[in-house]
Chains A and B, each alone.
Chain A
């Protein structure tokens, strides 16, 4: 199962990943990060197809794509 991890330390909540995800499985976190942002989170990991588009789009290189 592919999934992603968002590094809350790097994410600045531009949500470009949210906008490009073809499965719309990303969203905004409800909790604020140490940096003061509401980072992107994978809301529905079960929908993730591991296409890496969020990784490619992320300007802060905050996303790691994994498969378990």
Chain B
């Protein structure tokens, strides 16, 4: 627990990661996440950790693959095009059942895109750009405080389920400053205990450890086991925030930065007498599908607001299953929606939904 301090998003994330026990960081410069490796390079060694500026995103994620195999809390951070490059390592980490943290401070895309904040990587994060049947836990913070506190949550989940976790932020969240506090005591990695799966040789008489992703004969059993694990996570680990949803006619669904504008819009609309609410998925995978399905039982319509051309709306539609209208409001190319435009969209949709 700490006092409130004013911190930049990326720096809160980096400090939060060190407090969460991260002792290996590898990364490659890309805007708008550069403060993360910069902070790490200055501070991780003080805690006995290692920082490597890799020659590429590919090398960085594969260094994390190596470090994670030692049982060290290891992470990398990047922004959209860099995360595309990391997909190879992410699927290897998933196939080797290794925990780690990948941070995506999203920018506009596709391609080189822009350096402004965006939410265009929802598909990439939740569906995976790598090959094979795998999942990644995806956390979507909407404040600097959450950015600072989610690394701990990410590692607790990643280690519990032995899989990679991702924090999906965006350029604006990474760059903005807010008052924030850490809600956990610094983690001492030495007290996390030795992981029996780590590459550590013949210790205590146990057999050699192999970390490998070429499963050959074991592939089917491994994929089946992993699918079961994913099913358990979907049942038990969905996180979300509800505001004013109980009696709402229209509910906004938004995550990350756009949910901040949406909350403002909901508050304005309430003042005008509209019955509106906000539902914010905090985990994008597992997606809070059951909760959204329940909302569809009592509200008249759902408006999904994203800083992209329509990605999470597919998951919302899936959950709603055609029972009520679901519309999308998207601003992209580095534009953050203004609360007033969301409110107008909300009013339009509310009238239409009647």
A–B contact (CB under 8 angstroms): no
B residues adjacent to A (C-beta < 8 A)? none
